[in-house]
Amino acid sequence: MTVRTRIAPSPTGDPHVGTAYVALINYCFAKKNGGKFVLRIEDTDRARSTRESERAILDSLHWLGLSWDEGPDVGGPHGPYRQSERSEIYREHVAKLLADGNAFKCFCTPERLEEMRAVQRASKLPSRYDGLCTGLSAEEIAKKEAAGIPYVVRLSVPAEGVCVVNDLRRGAIEIDWGSVDMQVLMKSDGMPTYHLANVVDDHLMEITHVIRGEEWLSSAPKHLLLYKYFGWEPPQLLHLPLLRNPDKSKLSKRKNPTSILFYKAMGHLPDALLNFLGLLCVMPPEGEEIMDLAMMTDRFAVEHISLGGPVFDVSKLDWLNGRYIRERNDLDAFMAKAQAWGFDQAKLRRIAELAQPRIERLSDLGPLLAFFFAGRVAVNAEELRAGKLDDVSLRKALQLATWGFDALASWQTAGIEAVLKDVAARLDAKLREVTRPFYVAITGSPTSVPLYDSIDILGRDIVRERLRVALEVLGGVSSAELKEWAK
Ligand code: GLU
Q: Is the pLDDT of residue 476 over 80?
A: yes
Mean pLDDT, to the nearest integer, of 243-248?
90
Position 79 scores a pLDDT of 93
Domain of residue 434: give its range: 372-486
- Residue from 96, 105, 187, 253 carrying the catalytic annotation: 253
9 lines ligand 1 (CB under 6 A): yes
CATH number, domain of 234, equals 3.40.50.620
Q: 224-227 — which CB contacts under 8 Å span 24+ positions? A: 224/163, 224/165, 225/155, 225/157, 225/158, 225/163, 225/180, 226/97, 226/155, 226/195, 226/196, 226/199, 227/199, 227/203
Residue 178, CA atoms < 13 Å, CB-side half-sphere? 4
Classify residue 349: in a domain, yes or no: no
| Same domain assignment for residues 166 and 154 | yes
Check residue 255 and give its pLDDT.
79
Number of domains in the chain: 3
Considering the domain architecture, whether residues 55 and 137 belong to the same structural domain is answered as: no
Minimum mean pLDDT among 240-254, 306-320, 471-485: which range? 240-254
- Concerning whether 253 is annotated as a catalytic residue, the answer is yes
Instruction: Report the nearest-CA residue for atom 10 of ligand 1.
Output: 9
pLDDT single digits (tens) 439-475: 999 999 999 999 999 999 999 999 999 999 999 999 9
332 within a domain of the structure (yes/no) = no
Q: How far is residue 475's CA from residue 338's CA, in Å, rounded to a whole number?
A: 34
Q: Examine residue 104 and state whether it is found in any structural domain, yes or no.
A: yes
φ/ψ region of 287 (left if φ > 0, alpha if ψ in -120 to 50, else beta) reads left
pLDDT of amino acid 304 = 92
Q: Is residue 78 part of a domain?
A: no
To the nearest whole percent, how much of the chain has pLDDT over 90?
93
In this structure, the answer to whether residues 247 and 229 fall within a common structural domain is no
Is pLDDT of 19 > 90?
A: yes
CATH number at residue 428: 1.10.10.350
Domain presence at residue 217: yes
Lowest pLDDT segment from 214-228, 248-262, 325-339, 381-395: 248-262
DSSP letters along 15-78, please?
Answer: PBHHHHHHHHHHHHHHHHTT-EEEE-B----TTT--HHHHHHHHHHHHHTT---SBBTTTB-TT
Ligand 1 proximity of 5 Cβ (cutoff 6 Å):
no
Whether residues 161 and 303 fall in one domain: no
For residue 393, is it within any domain? yes
Q: Model confidence over 303-319: pLDDT tens digits?
A: 999 888 899 999 999 99
Query: Looking at ligand 1, which residue's alpha carbon is closest to its atom 8?
Result: 212
Question: Looking at the predicted structure, is the pLDDT value of residue 254 above 80?
Answer: no
Whether residues 264 and 124 share a domain: the answer is no
Q: Would you state the pLDDT for residue 198?
A: 98
Query: Mind listing the pLDDT tens digit for each residue in 399-455?
Result: 999 999 999 988 999 999 999 999 999 999 999 999 999 999 999 999 999 999 999
Task: Please tell me whether residues 55 and 143 are part of one structural domain.
Answer: no
At residue 337, what is the residue type? Answer: K
Residue 436: predicted pLDDT: 96
Instruction: Report yes or no on 276 lying in a domain.
Output: yes
How far is ligand 1, taken at its centre, from the CA of residue 193, in Å?
Answer: 12
Render pLDDT for 79-123 as a digit per residue (tens, 0 to 9): 999 999 999 999 999 999 999 999 999 999 999 999 999 999 999
Instruction: Tell me what the mean pLDDT of segment 68-74 comes to.
Output: 98
For residue 447, tell me if it sits in a domain.
yes
pLDDT for residue 186 is more than 90: yes
Query: Does the CA dihedral 42-48-51-57 come out positive or negative?
Result: negative
pLDDT higher than threshold 90 for residue 261: yes
Rounded to the nearest integer, the mean pLDDT of the chain is 96
Same domain, 428 and 449: yes
What predicted TM-score, i.e. pTM, was given to this entire model? Answer: 0.94
Atom of ligand 1 nearest to the CA of 211: 8
Task: Say if ligand 1 is within 6 A of residue 19 CB.
Answer: no
Same domain, 236 and 247: no
Q: Among residues 187, 211, 240, which one ends one of the domains?
A: 240
195, 212, 240 - which closes a domain: 240
Query: How many C-beta atoms lie closer than 10 Å to residue 356's C-beta?
Result: 10
Residues 157 and 201 in one domain: yes
pLDDT over 90 at 170, yes or no? yes
pLDDT at 232: 98
- Given 258, 291, 319, the domain boundary residue is 319
